[in-house]
Every structure is written in structure tokens, then in C-alpha cells.
Amino acid sequence: MKKIVSLILIVSLLVVLGFSTYSCKPKEEKPTWTPKEEYKLSVVVGPTFWWGLGAQKFADDVKEKTDGKVNIKVYYGGQLFAGKQTNEFQLMASGAIDFAWGSTINWSPVIKEMNVFSLPFFINTFENLDKMEYGETGKIIFKKMEEKGVVGLAWAENGFRELTNSKREIRRPEDLKGLKIRVVGSPIFLDIFRQLGADPTNMNWADAVTAFQQGTVDGQENPVGVLIPVKIWQYHKYATFWNYLVDPVIVGVNKKIWDEFPDDIKKAIKEAAEEAAEYEKALCRAGLDGDKSINILKEKFGVTPEVADPVKYLEDNGMKVTFLTDEEREAFIEATKPVFDEWVDKIGKEVVEAAKRDMGK
Ligand code: X2X
């Protein structure tokens, strides 16, 4: 009898122990992911700019590829940073903005390595730019971004920045003397234009458009994907196509938001980013790289660009477009060399050397 009672006791003890261990076991399943109602995406420019068109395509494609689960709303014209456009990166890193299609120029005050794209007369061609973005330089920059809380998804574009003004044709550094030039908020731009003898003033894009309208500045610099939508010929008659520096646009996402996405959602978003970036890059380059980008738009995206020849388009609208001779270009390279050297030190040799290796320089 005693034996039976002990046996029953032991068995019940084992059952209780087994049950409690089972119920205390931590749940191995990941908590289920609930999408936010809306993910906010920041863009500096408006919806008609090539860059804005790319961001909208991304938002539409993400919705489609995630069966409507991820709803990205594009906030154009810098609505989300109500302040300085150079704040965009940090707002995304802190989670106030979820996604951004952002220019490296606006993010470079936080990620100093991004200034490598703003070194005067360093990159010059689309081929060099691609080699950097998909090479070592791109990897270094994405790593630096991630350390600060933003994941880079793809390289899109704003483009090589060309100079426009209302006063005169610019062929030599002396031609810039005393001209009031609106530049972006990143300090290297003030340095370059001061060095060239101009009178640069920095302001947000939205304020810049007002300044063009009111004629409070004489000139500015931006790529064709901005010059054409803003109808720059309304304000400036002269353009100098000097490809002096370039701004890539990076598709970025807050790292915490990214890490919460399930793998299939991540895959869909990454694919959408790469595709929309390819499309937008082709829009920015259409008519500037022979037939290459026009063919990508036609064959891959079924789109015929409205402006097939940006230079002719500006000329047809009354602008005088100047291309520099090799000698004239040399004079600008020479004149900006002190800024170049100073900024190589500020940016750090690591990324500058990587860029040179990528370009085979
Ligand atoms: O402000 C500009 O010039 C613009 C629109 O090109 C950027 O945001 C870098």
C-alpha cells in the first residue's frame, strides 16, 4: 500500500514538474508583425520632379508587392522636416520619418563620407559614379549609415549639378565673381563658391524657388531633373554644363522599422527599391548618356521620356547652354584645388582612396 502511495506521489510530482517547465518555457515564435497604418517617406522636391516620380513609383510598387500590407505615403516638398533639409537623415534615424529618398548632399552633414560625391571635378561621368555606388565606396557609405540607424536599400539619383544664372555666360572662374549663388546647406558648397569668387548663400530648396522668383539670387546649381520641372528658364538665361559634382539619391529606411519587417516583406521592399531606383536613374540620365537610359526606360519600363534631349529642351526654352573646353575646365579644377584638398582631409582618406580604386584612378 505504502509503495503504491509513494508511486502515485512521485508520478504526480513528475507531472506537475513537467507541466510547469512546459508552461514556463519561453515562446520561441517571433511576435507577429503588425504593419503601421502609414509609413512616412520624405522627399525634398515635388511630385513632378524626376526624383519625386521615382519615390512615388517605389511607394506604389511596395504596396503591390506586399499585397497592400505596407502603405507608404510620400510627403513631397520637404513637409516632414519643417526646418532644414539637412535634418532629414537624423529625423529618419530617430524614427520620426520611416523612409526617405534623400540626396547625399542633404545627408552629408551627418555622414561626412558622403561628401566624396561633392568633391569638385572628381567623378565627372556616370560610369565613374556607378563604379563608386556599386563598389567599395557604396559599401562604406551604407555601413556608416547603418551605424547611425538607417538602412540603405538602393542607389537612385539626382544627377550631375549644372550651373545656371540670370547675369552672364560662365566659362571661367572670373565670370562667377560677385554673383550671388544659392547653394544647398552642406558646407562644402559654400567653400567651393567662395573659392571661385562668387557670393554663395545657402537655403532650403523651397526657399530657393522663392529666391529665384524674386531675383534675390543671381544663380544656382542643380541637375536637369530639377531644372526642367522647376522651369529654370523663367528665371535664368545661362546654363553651364560642367558636371562639377553629383548627388546620388539613396533610398533609406529607419533601421528599427526595417528590422521589424518579416523576411518576405523585406525582400519585397528591397526589390521595389532597386527597381524604382533603376527607373528613376534612367529618367535622370535620359538624353545625357546617348541611348542607354532611353532604351532602359522603353524596354524595361515601357516609358518614353517626355524630355528626350534635356540640353535641347533648355535651349528651345530660350536658354544659352555652355559646355566647357578642356582648357576652361582645367581652370576650374585649378581654382577649386584648395577646397578639394581641404575636404579630402575632412572626409577621410579611407573613402576617398576607395573611390579612386573604384574609378580606377
Ligand atoms: O536643394 C537642392 O538643390 C536639391 C533639391 O537638389 C537637393 O535637395 C540637394
Q: Are strands 180-183 and 199-202 parallel, antiparallel or unpaired?
A: parallel
Furthest-apart CA pair in the chain: how many Å? 113
> Exposed, middle or buried, 239 (CB in 10 Å: 0-12/13-18/19+)?
buried
CA distance 77 to 81: 9
Does the pLDDT of residue 66 top 60, yes or no?
A: yes
Secondary structure element (H or E) that encloses residue 250, with its range? strand 246-254
Q: What is the pLDDT of residues 81-111, one digit of tens each?
A: 878 999 999 999 999 999 999 999 999 999 9
Closest ligand 1 atom number to CA of residue 221: 3
3-state DSSP call for residue 238?
A: strand
CA distance 43 to 68: 22
Q: Residue with the nearest Cα to atom 1 of ligand 1? A: 205
Q: Quote the pLDDT of residue 21.
A: 47
The stretch 315-323 carries a mean pLDDT of 98
Q: At 301, is the pLDDT very low, low, confident or very high (cuts 50, 70, 90)?
A: very high
With a 6 A CB cut-off, is 108 part of the ligand 1 pocket? no
**Residue whose CB lies within 8 A of the most ligand 1 atoms, among 221, 226, 227, 236, for a mutation test:** 226
The stretch 208-230 carries a mean pLDDT of 97
If you average pLDDT over every residue of the chain, what do you get? 93
- Residues 31, 33, 37, 41, CA torsion sign: positive
With a 6 A CB cut-off, is 359 part of the ligand 1 pocket? no
How far apart, in Å, are the Cα atoms of 109 and each of 39, 102, 106, 155? 25, 13, 7, 19
The stretch 37-61 carries a mean pLDDT of 97
Report which of 18, 231, 54 is spatially closest to residue 155, judged by C-alpha positions. 54
Q: At what angle do helices 349-359 and 126-133 cross, to 10 degrees?
A: 120
With a 6 A CB cut-off, is 297 part of the ligand 1 pocket? no
Residues belonging to the chain: 361
Amino acid at 271: E
**Residue whose CB lies within 8 A of the most ligand 1 atoms, among 42, 43, 44, for a mutation test:** 44
Report which of 234, 244, 218, 230 is spatially closest to residue 323, judged by C-alpha positions. 244
With a 6 A CB cut-off, is 74 part of the ligand 1 pocket? no
Q: What is the pLDDT of residues 139-163, one digit of tens each?
A: 999 999 999 999 999 999 999 999 9
